[in-house]
Structures are given as C-alpha cells and as structure tokens.
C-alpha cells in the first residue's frame, strides 16, 4: 500500500479517469493529460512520487473551484444547493492513486450494512433488503417495529479531519497513508465559480471535497464508526430490535454512503440506546442529523402513543409510506401504480425538452435507444412494477417515436411490441421493458445463487430457503421480489453450471452435470434428500457404486466420462453462466435468452447497412412492411382520401408501387443506376427489384455499396413526392445528384483509404470494380527443436463451427523426424474446443511417454493467450485448460504461436479423422499418407513457405493507396 508508484501505474490511473470531466482552475481536462501522456508522463510520475515521499502539494495544484448545483427545481435557500469541487486533474490523479490502494482493504473493514463504494457490494441489493425488511413491519415482534430514515446535514462538508485520522489509525493504516490523506484533505484552497468567474480564495478547516476520487472512501471509513456502534447494540441483551425471520442475520441498519435507514422497535429503552449511539457519533465526527428531513415510519395500525413516544425521544417527525430510499419507493402491502408515477413523469419531462427540436426518425431512434430506455433500468433492477406502469412507459416511447413536432399525435404504423425485436428479426432493436425487467431479475437470481458475501442473499436464503433448496423453493406468502425471482427461475437455472472443485454443490438440485439439475432429469429416481457432490467422490475418482444406486446408467456413464472430480484443496465449486462465451453473467445475454424470438433472415441485414443514415434504413424498413403514407396504404386502413400522384403528369392514383417503381421518373432513376451496374429491372415488382440489387454478384467492396442503392433511390423519390405535396418542385437532376452524394458519402465512410473518389455513380462503380489488393509476401518455415527438446504441433478442425470436429497433433525430434502423430473425431463442437483438445491430448501423450521438454506450437493465437493466461477463458474450456495447466506443471513447456503455413502437417493430420469414428495413429514416416509425407519432408528440409497478406490498393493510373 505504501510502495512508490511506477510509471505504468500512474498511466493506468490517468487513463481510467474520465477525460470529459470538468476542468479545475488550471483549465486542463483529462483529455490533455491522456493525449499528451508520452510528453508529460515522466513529469507527472515525478510529481506523484514526490507526494508519496512526503512533499507538500503547491497551491496551484490544490486550488479548487466550487460550483453550486441546485438540488431541486425551485432554489430558495443555500441549503438547496450542492457544492461540487472542480479540482485540478493532477490533484485527481494523486487522490485516485491513494484511493486505489485503500479500497483493497475496504471489504475487510467496512460492515456489510454499508453498501456504498465497496467492491462487490451493490446499491440495488441495499434497496431490495430494505424493501424486504419493511414488508414485514407488522410481523414478528411483540413490540412495535419502527423504521427511521436519517438525513445527515451536509454530510461530506462536516467531516472532522482529526476524527478521520484517528479512525484511520484505529483501523491500522500505515502512518504514511494517514499522512498522505491528511495532506490531501487539509491542503485545499477554494474559489467560488459564479457565472464562469471565480470569486475569493479561502482555506477550509473540515469536510471532504465532493467530486474528489478519494472522498467517498474516506467518508465510509468515517461512517463505519456509526455502523459499528449500531452493530454493537446486538450484544446488549436488553436491546429489543426489529422483528426479523428466525435464522436471518442481525440487521438494525442499512447504509449507502450517507443514506441510512435504522430498523428498531418501539421499546422506550431500545430507542434511547439507539439515539445515544447517534449522538455520540455526532459529537466525535462533526456530523449532524438533519431532523427536519429525517423521518420515522410505523405501520398504519400502530397505536398513537408509540408515535408520540418516538417524536419525544428522537425529535424526528413521523413520515408516511411509501418513502423514497436511494431513488426508489419503499413500501409495505400491495404495490400500486401511483408509487411509480415519479419514474414515468421523469421520462415524460425528458421528452418535453426535445419537443422544440426537428428530429428525424433516426434521431428519435437514437434518443430512445441510448437515453430513454436506460432511464427506468435502475428502478427496474430493484423493483417489480405493475404491468400497467411498463405499458404506460411503452406508450410514452411510442408517442414520441411516431409523433410529430410539438407532440402532435402521429399514426402508430407498427405496434411497439413489434419494434422490440433485433433488426435481423424484423424489429428496430428497441428493448421491451417487460423483458428487461425479467432480465434484471434474472441477474438477481444469479447473484442470489452465487454470492457468498451479500447480506441481501444471506437474508433471502434464510427467509425463504432454510428448509428447501432454491431450485424447489415456493413463493407462497412471499414478497413481490421473491415471487418475481421464482417466476424467472426456470429460465435462468438451467444456464448456471457448477464446476466441481470441492464438491459442495447440491447433488440433486445444482446443474453440475451440464445436463440440468438431476432432480428434474432423473424423473422417478430423483430424491429431495440434500446431498453434496463430494459424497460421491473418493480419492480414486467417482464412487460408481453410489452413483449407480441413485442414477440411470446413461447419466452415470456421462458423469464418469465427462466430469473430472477434483480435490477439496481447490476451493468451493464455481458457478458459470452458460448464456455467453465468457461464463460471466450479463443482463444483455439474459435478455436475449428470455425474450421471444422470431426467425432471423439474412437479407434483413441489408436494410441496415453500416454507415447508412438511420432515417434512410428506417424508410426502407417501412416500405418493406407497407407502412408509408401513400394513398393506397391509407385507403387500406379505411382512411378516405382523394388520390392523385403529384409526381407525374398523368395524375394517376398514388400507390406505393407507382410512386417508387412504375412512375416514369422512378423508372428513369432506377434504370440510370442499374445500367452502370449491369442490372436488368424490367418486369419486376418492387420486392423483386430490391432483391435483384441485394443478390447482385460483384466484388466485396462494390457489393456492399450496391446493396444500399434501393434504399437511397426510394428515399429520394419519397422526398420528391413530399416536396410536391407541399408545393415545392424537385428536378430529376437534383434528385439524381442527391442519390449519388449519399452513396459517395457511404463509400467514404466504409472505405476511407480510397483516394481520388468522385460522387459520379459510374466512376464509383468502376473504381470499386477495379479495386485490387496488393499482395505482400513473408517467408516462413518450420523450426526444428533444440537438443533434448521435441516440437509438438497441434491443430483442430471444425466443419461449420460448431460442426463435426476433430483434433490432431504430431511430435517431432531435433532432426525433424516423426515420433508420433494422432487424430480423432470428437463429434460436434467448435474449432476452439477442437484446438484445446489437441493441445491437451498432445501434452498428455508427452507426459505419459517421458517427453519432458516440449515446444508446443499452435496456429490459434486465442488459445495461446488462454494457455498463458493473457486472455479470459470461456466457460466451455475451463476444465480443459485446467487439465492442460496441471500437465504443464509436470513438464517444461514453451507455448508458441505459429503461422498456419508452418502448421500444415498438424492441420492435415486433424482433417484425416474428421469423417471417421476411428482414431488415426502414425508412429513413423511410412505410415503417413502421401500428402502427409510431403508436408513432413518440407518441414524437415527447412523448405520455406510464402505467407501471403493483402494490402489496400486502388488501381487508377498505377497509383497505390495503403
């Protein structure tokens, strides 16, 4: 913790800080330090090291601007303003350095009641636990249950520095750390920033800067004194607490930074003792309870005498349920839609700020996806609102998306639920809040199942699962949160795989076989007896007799062949999330597992070409669904209109096909673009025409642009139609120019390295057709091993990825002669699994045959990084990689990545077994097929191979462009 920082550590801190945060008095933001790091990095490191060595920071570094931000809309008093410190970035770097060293010990010294700013703890779980406890406010207590919500007046600004240093010393922090903290918090000079102008220059005598990276850490360390004082009340036999479930952990308060809730009883002596702890904390810390903003809460049926006693003993007023804690409503009894009005209004207010702006559908799509849909996520992660509330928010989204300027009601052409599918499934990529709520509760279920330290998880386990395993626990008489978790359990539990280590997983109820919980897969054989997996593990492996007594023969065979029992020294069993490759739970992966799916169509990707303006892609999407306001579509929806096509002289009835295809000007535009690409459009309807362009066979570069042409042409035809409708004419030449301009911009975005590009469509087609890659060559050859070593080349083959797969490897001596080669089919799997199997089998052979010095060569860079622990290991490969690492500990192994051209023999051997069930074994040169002999001789005689790579080039007057 006291070690002097090195350049790399300082650099990591600089680049982890937000470069966009407001600058301090010196005017330099984090972007300056990040962009100029190569120039100033060494000097910044010297400053940091000097501070760690005891030097005082000069005033130009500790000088801070104070900005007063309003806490509410109508500001009347200074108390309605929150002072935020704008420190210099160098000051932030030093604070962050000290912070990152102190946070390592916070989980060990901060009580579990405090959820703020401690790694591994969650604000959501604090809200959930408070809600779960308050739900039972009228139960389990002879005395009345009481809830007190404390508000600390200017919590950060009132912290005593002397008190803070004493607390740090009591916790055992080194004097060097305490000295650095003192020099950071006491050497601060402030100016007040008003309307961009600084005023005054003064020194502070107490408090922590809001906005400084170190301040939250120091505050919760100081607040730990209050937490421990309250927790010590549990030792008092005369103290009567809140009525909690019989086996639950003792809880009399919850905190998130300075937001604190107390749980107690209405007993007079107990109240006095609790208030004495708070008063003692106020006296020593400098903190003060704001009694005008603090409230106590009682059940509605509580006698009035208890409320009077609480007011007299605490000096705090009584509040009414629901109240807001950490931004979420907390209540008991039935959930009501009125509790969530604030969330709905917040979204509506945000939309109102955009109503005076001209927003296209593309702009609205971006705002909904990136702003509006994220606003309710925080509350949905802790609460389960009524369906009516989420439907109301969906209606607000839909009105904003389909509405016109000023909030005028627009036609909702497609139901909101149909928009909440990925684009490849025919939607617009919006997220359904109903499914998002389920995904967030899937995260709660995951946290509940795998957490070993969470106070909320312990409470829920003891309340609902003390007698039944979570997999079979019921929701009868439970809270809304638990009922929601149980409803989502079936969709989550089968994706949690428990990797056997110590064997503490439940034999019947945990999914440790990857086939699902045995309680469900074994049918009538299943038992409700609580057994652990380690009961079936002996020193020699699985106890087959015990397994066969309880399980079917097929399951016993699966367990013995595919699951390797571990020893108890390796720690507790580890849970992996099978919903993605990393094995780590994400809400995104859970959302896609939970939502209903539609059929994916590859051609839908062509509607949403990367680089194309969203408004154009969206228009094509509407055309495809016949959801544009042409007269024929309006009539189809029973809207009476007098139809006339304004785009042609004949004055025909306007239909979508006529407007976008058969009108003379449309035909002229289509043919002008099609002629340059050699596409025939005669006799095609609109959908066939679009597919004609999408199926056009051309070079990869030209093909990407060709697929965008239909959307661009129809967009310009639609714009021309609207111009005519509103009395403004658009010439054909202008429309043709606009189409070319959009396609030109698309080419520039997708292929920025192409020089000399013009917007003329014929030239664009010609240039992209003539695009040629420049070939660059590198000479590579297989390398013979050193004296006493062998080289082992490995490879995996997979036809389809996933598909039918096989592994192969070959081992050669210092002369390049074959010692052994092997290949075998391993069924349907992915190429990375086949590659890992090849490495495992090869190392296993080397270990069993006494080959101790092995140069392991693989053409999979990903696998090499996993073996060397440079990359995270996917859950599917965890066990395989662990076995590889165990063998490597017994050998001297060099893991090397080689080019595919150098690994051709292993590749050939792997492919020999992909279509056969029998293992292929080659002990010497003469057993190899002819091609294998040829490849072996090429490597043995060091014949070079050319590795060919491409370089970007456009052929035009013999000019090359990288």
Kindly indicate the confidence band of residue 700, based on its pLDDT and cuts at 50, 70 and 90: confident
pLDDT digits over 156-196, tens only? 999 999 999 999 999 999 999 999 999 999 998 999 988 88
Rounded to an integer, the average pLDDT of 659-665 is: 91
Please check whether residue 494 lies inside any domain of the structure. Answer: no
The whole domain housing 64 covers 7-309
| Residue 530: predicted pLDDT | 87
Please check whether residue 317 lies inside any domain of the structure. Answer: no
| Residue 383: predicted pLDDT | 92
Please check whether residue 505 lies inside any domain of the structure. Answer: no
Kindly indicate the confidence band of residue 404, based on its pLDDT and cuts at 50, 70 and 90: low
For a pLDDT cut of 70, what percent of the chain falls above it? 97
Query: Would the pLDDT of 560 be above 50?
Result: yes
By three-state DSSP, how is residue 190 classified?
strand
CB neighbour list of residue 846: distance below 8 Å, 6 or more residues apart: 790, 792, 811, 852, 854, 891
Judge if pTM exceeds 0.85: yes
Rounded to an integer, the average pLDDT of 384-393 is: 95
| Residue 570: predicted pLDDT | 64
Closest among 694, 718, 709 to 622, alpha carbons compared: 718
For a pLDDT cut of 90, what percent of the chain falls above it? 74
pLDDT digits over 797-831, tens only? 999 888 999 999 999 999 999 999 999 999 999 99
Please check whether residue 464 lies inside any domain of the structure. Answer: no
Rounded to an integer, the average pLDDT of 491-502 is: 93
Residues 849 and 764 in one domain: no
Residues 358 and 412 in one domain: yes
Q: Give, rounded to a whole angstrom, the gap between the first and last alpha carbons of the chain.
A: 48
Compute the distance between CA of residue 734 and CA of residue 732 in angstroms, rounded to an integer.
5
Residues 304 and 341 in one domain: no
Please check whether residue 535 lies inside any domain of the structure. Answer: no
| Residue 64: predicted pLDDT | 93
By three-state DSSP, how is residue 370 classified?
helix
Q: HSE-up of 299 (CA within 13 Å, CB side)? A: 21
Preceding omega of 375 cis (within 30 degrees of 0): no
pLDDT digits over 862-910, tens only? 999 999 999 999 999 999 999 999 999 999 999 999 999 999 999 999 9
Closest among 463, 481, 327 to 455, alpha carbons compared: 463
Compute the distance between CA of residue 630 and CA of residue 419 in angstroms, rounded to an integer.
21
Rounded to an integer, the average pLDDT of 251-276 is: 94
| Residue 433: predicted pLDDT | 96
CA 245 to chain centre: 35
| Residue 6: predicted pLDDT | 93
Please check whether residue 878 lies inside any domain of the structure. Answer: yes
| Residue 596: predicted pLDDT | 87
Residues 298 and 402 in one domain: no
Compute the distance between CA of residue 131 and CA of residue 463 in angstroms, rounded to an integer.
14
Sign of CA dihedral 835, 837, 838, 843: positive
Both tokens of 320, joined, read: 């009414």
Closest among 790, 810, 782, 817 to 907, alpha carbons compared: 810
Which residues on neighbouring strands pair with residue 922, listed in sequence order? Answer: 821
Are the C-beta atoms of 669 and 713 separated by less than 8 Å? yes
Closest among 106, 228, 123 to 173, alpha carbons compared: 106
Query: Would the pLDDT of 460 be above 70?
Result: yes
Compute the distance between CA of residue 607 and CA of residue 693 in angstroms, rounded to an integer.
12
Residues 830 and 696 in one domain: no
pLDDT digits over 765-783, tens only? 888 888 777 788 889 999 9
Please check whether residue 791 lies inside any domain of the structure. Answer: yes
Three-state SS letters, 443-482: HHHHHHHHCCCCHHHHHHHHHHCCCCCCCCCCCCCCCHHH
Residues 180 and 268 in one domain: yes
Residues 231 and 350 in one domain: no
* Higher local confidence (pLDDT), 933 or 676: 933
Backbone angles phi, psi at 167, to 5 degrees: -65, -45
* Higher local confidence (pLDDT), 957 or 416: 416
Number of H helices, E strands in the chain: 38, 23
Residues 762 and 786 in one domain: no
Please check whether residue 138 lies inside any domain of the structure. Answer: yes
Residues 799 and 939 in one domain: yes
How many other CB atoms are there within 10 angstroms of residue 518's CB atom?
A: 25
* Domain of residue 824, CATH code: 3.30.420.10
CB neighbour list of residue 190: distance below 8 Å, 6 or more residues apart: 63, 64, 65, 66, 85, 200, 201, 202, 203, 204
Query: Would the pLDDT of 962 be above 70?
Result: no
Sign of CA dihedral 417, 418, 419, 425: positive
Pairing verdict, β 774-780 and 945-951: antiparallel
Kindly indicate the confidence band of residue 682, based on its pLDDT and cuts at 50, 70 and 90: confident
Rounded to an integer, the average pLDDT of 379-392 is: 95
Kindly indicate the confidence band of residue 643, based on its pLDDT and cuts at 50, 70 and 90: confident
pLDDT digits over 80-103, tens only? 888 889 999 999 999 999 999 999
Are the C-beta atoms of 277 and 262 separated by less than 8 Å? no
- The enclosing H or E element of 624 equals helix 614-624
Domain count of the fold of the chain: 4
Compute the distance between CA of residue 531 and CA of residue 942 in angstroms, rounded to an integer.
60
Compute the distance between CA of residue 125 and CA of residue 113 in angstroms, rounded to an integer.
11
Pairing verdict, β 197-203 and 189-194: antiparallel
The alpha helices in 726-830, defined as continuous H runs, are 732-750, 761-769
| Residue 960: predicted pLDDT | 43
Residues 271 and 152 in one domain: yes
Residues 203 and 164 in one domain: yes
Domain boundary among 718, 736, 769: 769
Rounded to an integer, the average pLDDT of 742-753 is: 91
Residues 806 and 710 in one domain: no
**What is the residue-averaged pLDDT of the chain?**
91
Query: Would the pLDDT of 151 be above 90?
Result: yes
């Amino acid at each position: 913790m006291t070690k002097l920082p090195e350049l790399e550590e300082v650099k990591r801190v600089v680049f982890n800080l937000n470069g966009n945060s407001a600058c301090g008095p010196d005017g330099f933001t984090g972007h300056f330090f990040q962009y100029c790091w190569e120039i100033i990095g060494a000097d910044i490191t010297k400053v940091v090291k000097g501070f760690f060595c005891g030097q005082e920071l000069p005033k130009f570094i500790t000088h801070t601007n104070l900005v007063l931000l309003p806490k509410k809309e109508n500001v009347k008093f200074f108390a309605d303003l929150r002072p935020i410190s704008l420190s210099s970035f160098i000051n932030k770097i030093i604070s962050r350095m000290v912070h990152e060293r102190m946070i390592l010990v916070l989980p060990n010294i901060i009580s579990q009641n405090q959820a703020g700013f401690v790694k591994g703890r969650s604000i959501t779980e604090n809200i959930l636990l408070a809600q779960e406890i308050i739900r039972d406010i009228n139960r389990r207590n002879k005395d009345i249950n009481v809830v007190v919500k404390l508000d600390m007046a200017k919590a950060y600004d009132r912290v005593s520095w002397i008190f803070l240093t004493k607390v740090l010393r009591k916790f055992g922090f080194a004097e060097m750390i305490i000295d650095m903290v003192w020099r950071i918090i006491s050497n601060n000079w402030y100016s007040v920033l008003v309307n961009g102008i600084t005023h005054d220059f003064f020194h502070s005598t107490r408090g922590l800067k809001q906005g400084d990276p170190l301040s939250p850490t120091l505050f919760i360390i100081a607040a730990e004194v209050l937490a421990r004082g309250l927790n010590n009340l549990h030792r008092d036999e005369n103290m009567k607490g809140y009525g909690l479930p019989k086996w639950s952990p003792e809880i009399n308060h919850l905190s998130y930074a300075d937001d604190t809730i107390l749980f107690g009883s209405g007993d007079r002596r107990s109240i006095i003792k609790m208030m004495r702890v708070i008063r003692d904390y106020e006296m020593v810390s400098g903190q003060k309870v704001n009694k005008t903003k603090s409230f106590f809460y009682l059940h509605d049926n509580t006698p009035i005498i208890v409320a009077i006693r609480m007011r007299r003993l605490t000096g705090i007023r009584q509040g009414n349920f629901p109240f807001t804690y950490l931004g979420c409503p907390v209540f008991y009894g039935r959930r009501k839609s009125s509790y969530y009005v604030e969330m709905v209004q917040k979204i509506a207010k945000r939309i109102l700020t955009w109503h005076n702006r001209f927003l296209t559908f593309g702009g609205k799509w971006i705002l909904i996806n990136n702003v509006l849909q994220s606003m309710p996520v925080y509350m949905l992660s802790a609460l389960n609102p009524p369906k009516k509330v989420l439907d109301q928010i969906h209606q607000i989204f839909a009105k904003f998306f389909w509405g016109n300027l000023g909030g005028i009601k627009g036609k909702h052409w497609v139901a909101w639920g149909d928009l909440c599918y990925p684009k490849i499934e025919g939607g617009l990529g919006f997220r359904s809040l109903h499914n998002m709520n389920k995904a967030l509760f899937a995260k709660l279920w995951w946290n509940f199942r795998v957490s070993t330290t969470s106070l909320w998880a312990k409470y829920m386990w003891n309340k609902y699962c003390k007698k039944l395993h979570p997999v079979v626990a019921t929701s009868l008489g439970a809270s809304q949160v638990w009922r929601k978790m149980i409803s989502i359990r079936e969709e989550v539990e089968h994706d949690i795989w428990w990797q056997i280590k110590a064997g503490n997983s439940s034999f019947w109820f945990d999914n440790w076989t990857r086939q699902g919980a045995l309680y469900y897969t074994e049918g009538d054989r299943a038992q409700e007896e609580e057994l652990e997996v380690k009961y079936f593990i002996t020193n020699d492996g699985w106890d087959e007799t015990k397994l066969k007594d309880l399980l079917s023969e097929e399951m016993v065979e699966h367990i013995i062949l595919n699951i390797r029992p571990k020893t108890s020294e390796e720690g507790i069993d580890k849970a992996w999330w099978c919903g993605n490759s990393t094995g780590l739970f994400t809400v995104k992966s859970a959302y896609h597992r939970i939502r209903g799916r539609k059929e994916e169509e590859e051609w839908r990707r062509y509607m949403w070409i990367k680089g194309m303006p969203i408004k154009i892609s969206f228009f094509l999407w509407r055309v495809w669904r016949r959801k544009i306001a042409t007269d024929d579509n309006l009539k189809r929806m029973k809207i009476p209109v007098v139809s006339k096509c304004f785009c042609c002289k004949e004055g025909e009835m306007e239909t979508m096909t006529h407007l976008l295809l058969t009108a003379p000007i449309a035909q002229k535009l289509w043919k002008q673009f099609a002629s340059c690409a050699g596409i025939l459009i005669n006799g095609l309807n609109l959908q066939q025409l679009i597919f004609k362009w999408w199926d056009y066979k051309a070079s990869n570069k030209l093909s990407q642009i060709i697929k965008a042409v239909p959307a661009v042409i129809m967009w310009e035809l639609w714009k021309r139609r609207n111009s005519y409708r509103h009395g403004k004419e658009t010439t054909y030449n202008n429309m043709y120019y606009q189409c070319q301009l959009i396609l030109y911009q698309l080419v520039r975005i997708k292929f920025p390295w192409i020089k000399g590009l013009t917007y003329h469509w014929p030239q664009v087609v010609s240039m992209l057709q003539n695009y040629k890659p420049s070939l660059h060559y590198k000479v590579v050859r297989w390398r013979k091993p050193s004296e006493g070593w062998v080289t082992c080349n490995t490879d995996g083959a997979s036809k389809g990825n996933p598909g039918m797969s096989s592994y192969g490897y070959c081992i050669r001596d210092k002369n390049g002669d074959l010692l052994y080669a092997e290949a075998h089919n391993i069924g349907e799997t992915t190429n990375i699994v086949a590659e890992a199997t090849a490495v495992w089998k090869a190392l296993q052979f080397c270990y069993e045959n006494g080959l101790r010095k092995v140069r392991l060569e693989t053409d999979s860079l990903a696998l090499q990084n996993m073996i060397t622990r440079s990359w995270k290991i996917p859950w599917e490969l965890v066990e395989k990689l662990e076995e590889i690492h165990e063998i490597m500990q017994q050998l001297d192994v060099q893991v090397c990545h080689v080019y595919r051209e150098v690994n051709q023999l292993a590749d050939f051997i792997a492919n020999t077994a992909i279509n056969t069930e029998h293992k292929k074994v080659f002990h010497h040169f003469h057993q190899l097929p002819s091609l294998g002999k040829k490849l072996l001789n090429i490597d043995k005689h060091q014949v070079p191979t050319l590795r060919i790579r491409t370089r970007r080039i456009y052929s035009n007057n013999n000019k090359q462009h990288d």
